[in-house]
Structure 1
Amino acid sequence: MDLLPGWVRNALPADESAFGTGFAQSFLLILACELGDRTFFVAAILAMRSSRLVVWAGALAALAAMTVLSAAIGKAFPLVLDKRWTGLAAALLFAYFGVQLLRDWWRLRGERPEENEELAEVEEELNHDHPAKKTHVARHAALALFSPIFVKAFTMTGLAEWGDRSQIATIALAASRNLYGVILGGVLGHAICTGLAVVGGRLLATKISEKAVALVGGILFIIFAIITASGELD
């Protein structure tokens, strides 16, 4: 460890258990929020019309940038507020999202499965654009980064993620957990969700039950609220 440069040592988490806790909670949080969310469907629909790899790269770049920004905002709160208050605020946010998801589950439990509303909205928005011819030829990475598809995936995903439940939850989680664990866990969660979206998002959208996602997500957020409020893992 002493052989590493100073800036590398400073970037590494001092407490591995704190890093692991932040990583695990951030990873699970993103999986609970993003499967079947607007950003999921944006990537899924764009990938039907364009290169899956380019769409995945553009969407993930936007989500990674938003994760870093959200975690930085969350980490700044304890610098101006007492950590007890930021922890309490985070717990209340988790509880609010948990109750909201459980209410959605309760509302949907007696209904027959229908087309996902989020999917229908995203499809309607994207249908204003003319579908591009799908490319099967691999492009050079340098060209892909500046391709219109990459830019479109990046901008649309960033706009869809701004103010979303997962962004606010990431801010709240970073306020009381290890910064690097939250960032890495969040980015990995986004990478997996976006990967599932571009590979078979439209098919998955018909198989994933909104009720099941709402129930699991609601329970997970309530658990996070209890853990954060108790401070057991601090």
Structure 2
Amino acid sequence: MTTLVQGFSKSLAMTVLSEIGDKTFFAAAILAMRHPRRLVLSGCLAALIVMTILSAVVGWAAPNLISRKWTHHVTTVLFFGFGLWSLWDGFMESGDDEELAEVEAKLDADWKDNTKTVKKGSKDDDELKKKSRPFLTQFFSPILLKAFSITFFGEWGDKSQLATIGLAADEDPFGVVLGGIVGQALCTTAAVLGGKSLASQISEKIVALSGGVLFVVFGIQSFLTPVGS
């Protein structure tokens, strides 16, 4: 029970501090301004839940494929590495304005292309497009699928994904999954309901420094914890 609670609390804290002001956070916020919020929230959350579960499964399987001693040491190094990375970002970067502008530019370009396509098409064309739509869009809203794909591929290889793998290798995987999902749900809901204004009121520097300190603390704890305890 203790390891489950520890995995849950670590995963929750790590997820919240990693995701606020992240690219996928801004993407969810901007998408929610242009499309129905429930579809954006459903798509983003589904992607993050799938990503969290996949990452935890990889972390859980790692000790069964590699020596427990090695996975423990790799996890410790990852925590210290992510901690120093976040601290460097906090001290050296000016904020999230560039990241927001980059995400907004990409989504704006996509939005304009879609708008032009809709304007050019006639009713007959629309009927033809419905018949020739990709298989998944026959059952799911294109907006939901767009939110899912942007979030899923935006998170792939991200710091939070790798940290989740490391946590699941060293802590209770079920607790890590629960903590990650709760953290992702909190951040994504905040992004969809008012992420752009929320992000402008939160200091990205403070978030980065807090995340860096948290990762370093995780690293110290992992370093001091005997393997297999």
- TM-score, normalised by the number of residues in structure 2: 0.85
2-structure distance, mates of 1:71, 1:117: 31
Residue number in structure 1 paired with 2:27: 42
Letter in 1 for 2:224: S
- Give the conservation status (yes or no) of the 8 Å contact 1:116–1:205: no
Counterparts of residues 32-181 of structure 1 (less than 5 Å): 32-108=17-93, 116-130=97-111, 146-181=140-175
Which of 203, 206, 210 is equivalent to 2:197?
A: 203
- Give the conservation status (yes or no) of the 8 Å contact 1:54–1:149: yes
1-structure distance, mates of 2:205, 2:104: 21
- Give the conservation status (yes or no) of the 8 Å contact 2:4–2:174: yes
- TM-score, normalised by the number of residues in structure 1: 0.83
Residue number in structure 1 paired with 2:214: 220
Q: 3-state SS of the aligned residue for 1:130?
A: helix
Summarize deviations over 1:104-139 as a string: whole Å, max 9, x none.
22214xx5xx66221111101101122689xxxxxx
Report sequence identity in percent.
47
Aligned length: 206
Which of 6, 11, 21 is equivalent to 1:26?
A: 11
2-structure distance, mates of 1:107, 1:58: 33
Summarize deviations over 1:175-210 as a string: whole Å, max 9, x none.
011010000110110000000000011101211212
Q: 3-state SS of the aligned residue for 2:111?
A: coil
Which of 165, 183, 186 is equivalent to 2:177?
A: 183
Summarize deviations over 1:65-103 as a string: whole Å, max 9, x none.
000000111111100222222111111101001001111
Summarize deviations over 1:44-82 as a string: whole Å, max 9, x none.
000000111110111000000000000111111100222
Corresponding position: 1:194 with 2:188: yes
- Moved beyond 4 Å, runs of 4+: none
2-structure distance, mates of 1:115, 1:156: 19
The Cα of 1:171 is off from its aligned counterpart by: 0.5
Q: 3-state SS of the aligned residue for 1:128?
A: helix
Gaps of 5+ in 1: 1-15, 134-142
